[in-house]
A and B are shown apart, each in its own frame.
Chain A
Amino acid sequence: MLSTTTSPETGRAPRSPDKRRRGIPLAHLDLHHVSLLAVLGVLALIGGLTQPSQFLSTDNLQLILTQASVIGVVTVGVTFVIIGGGIDLSVGAIVALASVWCTTVATQEFGLAGMLLCSLLVGLACGLVNGVLIAYGPMVPFIATLAMLASARGLALQISDGKTQVVTVQPVLDLGLPDAYVLGIPPLVLVFAVVAVLGWLVLNRTTFGRRTVAVGGNPEASRLAGIAVKRQRLLLYLVSGLCCGIAAFMLVVLTGSGQNTNGDLYELDAIAAAIIGGTLLSGGRGTITGSVLGVLVFTTITNLFALNNLQTDVQQIAKGAIIVAAVLVQKGRNSA
């Protein structure tokens, strides 16, 4: 047999030339992202065919993006946690707590800046508690964040007494009005875009991102390589908490109020979006791009169902099917 090109060391294919795919960012889009884009395209097509006048209207596209923004910011944080080998079940509850806390009568006296700061601090504080319990407890992330879910929701109910707290600070309400749109883009969407781009940069271009992937992929090897694994874990939950704080304030702007039922089941939507975006639930692999696409797919489906007057139960079933399909497609590709 003439197999002169196999190297004796590995018996594998000839060594690949020392080249690398570089250049335009689009060339980095992997197959999974392309297929998610294709799914979005199909959804847009269905929307265009079933509700031609409504679906592609500027108002509707703005609505889809705005709805995607709040859960999108949460998903970016959750993606970091999952890639780092953890899970955060408390994001929805933290959003509720932060939105309630920053809309109390007392907080509203401090105006927009005070409310924003309050929301971010509540998010960070919850993330800190999660992170300390998980990294230094040490507690299993599932348990620690489940406990946070229960406590934060309870505290949100206690603070608000179950009432909707209406925002009276005009600058906050103004942010949600069409007058605040920049080139037709709602400010909330811009916030999401900024968070997503920052998330991508941090994950792909910084030591923090690299360590996140390492710790999620092999915590023991990371520890023995000299990475401060505990600190990294703590920081990851701070990132997630901060994202929740941002999202909570966005929700307050969007709804003009804060209530303890805000962010209901956000944890499921965010985790699901990350998973269909290609993030490994076991950690060590995932992308911000995939998560953003995952959020857009989910939000578009919700919008399509609403436009076509379909019930939310059908919508939930469809989401479940998409999660299963996305994971099966990835599995098929990995084993091929």
Chain B
Amino acid sequence: MAPLLTMTGITKSFPGVRALDGVDLAVEAGEVHCLLGQNGAGKSTLIKVLAGAHQPDEGRIEWREEPVRLSNPVAAMRLGISTIYQELDLVEHLSVAENIFLGHEIARHGLVRPQEARHRSTELLGRLGHPEIDPEVLVGRLSAAHQQVVSMARALSHDVRLLVMDEPSAALDPDEVDNLFRIVADLTSREVAVVYISHRLEEIRRIGDRVSVLKDGRVAAGGLAARTTDTKQVVALMTGREIERPFPPRRHEEPAPTTPAPGSGPAPPPTPVLRTEGLARQGEFSPLDLTLHAGEVVGLAGLVGSGRSEILETVYGARRPTAGRVLVDGRPLRPGSVPAAVRAGIGLAPEERKAQALLMLESVTRNVSVSTLARFATGGWLDRTRERQAAHAGTRDLSLSPDDPDRPVRTLSGGNQQKVVLARWLLRECRVLLLDEPTRGVDVGARAELYALVRRLAEEGVAVLLVSSEVPEVLGLADRVLVLREGQVVHTAPAQELDEHRVLDLVMEGSASC
């Protein structure tokens, strides 16, 4: 069968970087073609070329065997190429229907026809399995998952022949992902080609037909069979090394596989560092009593909207609790005050790194030192040499790459940006670290590094509270796991006593009833 799209020898350079270096890609109608690769491998650039947002320096693009030039996004859309970017590009203050038909409004004589737009939106949303989304509601009031559905409806509102999806499942819950896959299957059954980008190998195995692996701007392997290719082989292609065991062993697993009997050995009793007493926020999560010990990693497992992030942010003082309190070393913190939490030694690596943690225009040094400025100042006057040295020591310790303290943080990959955030709290010698989705948008290799780092911090006595959508991550990293459902802890157990299926069962149980 002749491919729908053929890209040959695509090369694209930016100042100082050759992002794409002779990439070949062939996509057939009706297939799900997965793109894999670490951050910086060139995936984003490639799909921007495909969307007409970037012009290649060299190379040929053929559409149904005819050479084409995708000189702008409109040209790509006319051919039937639609792209759903990772960062959703919706207008919050417009309604769902207005967003779906943004740029190609249904109009007659220049007057928009809202009724027909609503009607067709309802139809599209129904087709996507979400008839409950009201086309008249403002997009800003929808959940992340529903916003994604609106994005897809927008893509489908064009006569789409090739749909490009950049990490569509990153913000979705497991059941939402199932729905996403149903939609993808529906599209491919109608001969639409899907280019699917994801960091999650298991997803690719579930819906992919073929896989192409990008590495350093080149195709490391093209058109592998998605279902049968071995995971190890794919990871090896991406990284050039095999990652045997991404989760480092827990301390007490290390010396011998036998469980230490209680009372045996000189292990000191764990010191409680952080305690919550009946901490709650109305409508978000029910009263929570939690004790975090020094050196302990506690994981919170639950769906998006189960109150995971809200708990972290309330402990951190970024949200004011409606009941209960947070204590560090037995002393209650001033409720709803981030500075108080930071002073007490709590640090937060928030879910949205770029929006909530980083000063994107600033250098690595300034991003690391921002929470510790007073330490480098006498009477408000900064000692910049000391500041830079301390920040650099911190980032070197985390093997930041490239190891340049003056580099703008926006030029770093996701994994390295996360290291910058962690270095910020390590510099403060924080004793409680709250990690919200620490590996979102982080590639496989850097993930393993972050896992090792979390474990090391715990061994050094930091208490870690971890939230992750990826159950294996929670199980692999945490000592103790709290399973959340609708704002309530429904189960607590040591991580070793749980497996992925059990956690998913607990998480989803009864969620259909609401």
Please report A residues at the B interface, Cβ cutoff 8 Å: 1, 3, 6-16, 18, 20, 205-208, 210-211, 213-214, 217-218, 220-228, 284-285
Residues A205 and B381 in contact, CB atoms below 8 Å apart: yes
Q: Is B172 an interface residue (CB 8 A)?
A: no
> Chain B residues with Cβ under 8 A from A221's Cβ?
355-359
> Chain A residues with Cβ under 8 A from B42's Cβ?
11
Residues B411 and A12 in contact, CB atoms below 8 Å apart: yes
Residues B380 and A207 in contact, CB atoms below 8 Å apart: yes
Contact count A vs B, C-beta below 8 Å? 127
Residue from B40, B350, B359 in contact with A12 in the complex, judged by beta carbons closer than 8 Å: B40
Q: Is B270 an interface residue (CB 8 A)?
A: no
> Chain B residues with Cβ under 8 A from A20's Cβ?
406
Residues B377 and A225 in contact, CB atoms below 8 Å apart: no
Residue from B21, B216, B355, B416 in contact with A220 in the complex, judged by beta carbons closer than 8 Å: B355
| Distance of A211 Cα from B372 Cα, bound (Å) | 11
Residues A10 and B380 in contact, CB atoms below 8 Å apart: no
> Chain B residues with Cβ under 8 A from A222's Cβ?
359, 370
Q: Is B225 an interface residue (CB 8 A)?
A: no
Residue from B359, B373, B402, B407 in contact with A218 in the complex, judged by beta carbons closer than 8 Å: B359
| Distance of A284 Cα from B366 Cα, bound (Å) | 13
Q: Is B67 an interface residue (CB 8 A)?
A: no
Q: Mark each residue of chain B from 380 to 395: 1 if its CB lies under 8 Å from any CB of chain A, else 0.
A: 1110100000001000
Q: Is B371 an interface residue (CB 8 A)?
A: yes
Q: Is B240 an interface residue (CB 8 A)?
A: yes
| Distance of A217 Cα from B370 Cα, bound (Å) | 12
Q: Is B8 an interface residue (CB 8 A)?
A: no
Q: Which residue of A lies closest to B18 (CB)?
A: A3
> Chain A residues with Cβ under 8 A from B357's Cβ?
221, 224-225
Residue from B216, B348, B362 in contact with A224 in the complex, judged by beta carbons closer than 8 Å: B348
| Distance of A263 Cα from B416 Cα, bound (Å) | 49
| Distance of A9 Cα from B40 Cα, bound (Å) | 7
Residue from B339, B356, B360, B404 in contact with A226 in the complex, judged by beta carbons closer than 8 Å: B339
Residue from B41, B355, B371 in contact with A225 in the complex, judged by beta carbons closer than 8 Å: B371
> Chain B residues with Cβ under 8 A from A13's Cβ?
16-17
> Chain B residues with Cβ under 8 A from A14's Cβ?
402
**Which residues 16-61 in B have Cβ within 8 Å of A in the complex?**
16-19, 21-22, 38-42
Question: How distant is B482 from chain A, measured CB to nearest CB, in Å?
Answer: 23
| Distance of A217 Cα from B361 Cα, bound (Å) | 7
Q: Mark each residue of chain B from 110 to 121: 1 if its CB lies under 8 Å from any CB of chain A, else 0.
A: 000000000000
| Distance of A133 Cα from B338 Cα, bound (Å) | 22
Question: How distant is B334 from chain A, measured CB to nearest CB, in Å?
Answer: 12
| Distance of A245 Cα from B38 Cα, bound (Å) | 56
Question: How distant is B405 from chain A, measured CB to nearest CB, in Å?
Answer: 8
Q: Is B168 an interface residue (CB 8 A)?
A: no
Please report B residues at the A interface, Cβ cutoff 8 Å: 16-19, 21-22, 38-42, 216-218, 239-240, 316, 318, 338-339, 341-343, 348, 350, 355-362, 366, 370-371, 373-374, 377, 380-382, 384, 392, 401-407, 411-413, 415-416, 424, 445-446
Residues B17 and A206 in contact, CB atoms below 8 Å apart: no
> Chain B residues with Cβ under 8 A from A3's Cβ?
18, 21, 216
| Distance of A9 Cα from B217 Cα, bound (Å) | 12
Evaluate whether A16 and B40 lie within 8 angstroms (CB atoms) in the complex, with A9-B446, A11-B216, A221-B359 already known.
no
Q: Which of B41, B218, B382, B415 has the most CB of A within 10 A?
A: B382
| Distance of A14 Cα from B403 Cα, bound (Å) | 10
> Chain B residues with Cβ under 8 A from A10's Cβ?
39-40, 401-402, 412-413, 416
Would you mind naming 20 contact pairs between A and B with Cβ atoms under 8 Å apart?
A1-B22, A3-B18, A8-B38, A9-B416, A10-B416, A11-B217, A12-B16, A16-B404, A16-B407, A205-B382, A206-B382, A207-B373, A211-B373, A214-B370, A218-B358, A218-B360, A220-B356, A221-B356, A223-B338, A226-B342
Evaluate whether A225 and B217 lie within 8 angstroms (CB atoms) in the complex, with A8-B240, A10-B402 already known.
no
Residues B370 and A210 in contact, CB atoms below 8 Å apart: yes
Residues A16 and B402 in contact, CB atoms below 8 Å apart: yes
Question: How distant is A287 from chain B, measured CB to nearest CB, in Å?
Answer: 13
| Distance of A225 Cα from B355 Cα, bound (Å) | 12
Residues B318 and A223 in contact, CB atoms below 8 Å apart: yes
| Distance of A225 Cα from B318 Cα, bound (Å) | 10
Residues B377 and A206 in contact, CB atoms below 8 Å apart: yes
| Distance of A11 Cα from B359 Cα, bound (Å) | 23
| Distance of A207 Cα from B339 Cα, bound (Å) | 15
Residue from B216, B339, B373 in contact with A210 in the complex, judged by beta carbons closer than 8 Å: B373
> Chain B residues with Cβ under 8 A from A6's Cβ?
18, 216
> In the complex, given contacts A10-B412, A223-B318, what are 17 additional A-B residue pairs having Cβ atoms less than 8 angstroms apart?
A3-B18, A6-B18, A8-B239, A9-B40, A9-B402, A9-B445, A11-B217, A12-B16, A18-B392, A20-B406, A206-B381, A210-B366, A210-B370, A220-B356, A224-B357, A226-B341, A228-B339
Residues A224 and B359 in contact, CB atoms below 8 Å apart: no
| Distance of A7 Cα from B404 Cα, bound (Å) | 13
| Distance of A227 Cα from B18 Cα, bound (Å) | 38
Residue from A7, A15, A18, A217 in contact with B362 in the complex, judged by beta carbons closer than 8 Å: A217
Residue from A11, A16, A205 in contact with B41 in the complex, judged by beta carbons closer than 8 Å: A11
Question: How distant is A72 from chain B, measured CB to nearest CB, in Å?
Answer: 24
> Chain A residues with Cβ under 8 A from B445's Cβ?
8-9
Question: How distant is B335 from chain A, measured CB to nearest CB, in Å?
Answer: 16
Evaluate whether A207 and B382 lie within 8 angstroms (CB atoms) in the complex, with A9-B40, A10-B402, A15-B403 already known.
yes
Q: Which residue of B lies closest to A336 (CB)?
A: B15
| Distance of A218 Cα from B362 Cα, bound (Å) | 10
| Distance of A1 Cα from B497 Cα, bound (Å) | 50
Question: How distant is B210 from chain A, measured CB to nearest CB, in Å?
Answer: 23
> Chain A residues with Cβ under 8 A from B239's Cβ?
8
> Chain A residues with Cβ under 8 A from B356's Cβ?
220-221, 224
Q: Which residue of A lies closest to B346 (CB)?
A: A226
| Distance of A10 Cα from B41 Cα, bound (Å) | 7
> Chain A residues with Cβ under 8 A from B405's Cβ?
18
| Distance of A257 Cα from B348 Cα, bound (Å) | 55
Residues A12 and B402 in contact, CB atoms below 8 Å apart: yes
Residue from B18, B371, B401 in contact with A9 in the complex, judged by beta carbons closer than 8 Å: B401
Pairs A-B, 10 closest by C-beta atoms? A226-B342, A15-B402, A11-B40, A9-B401, A13-B16, A10-B40, A207-B373, A206-B380, A225-B371, A217-B359
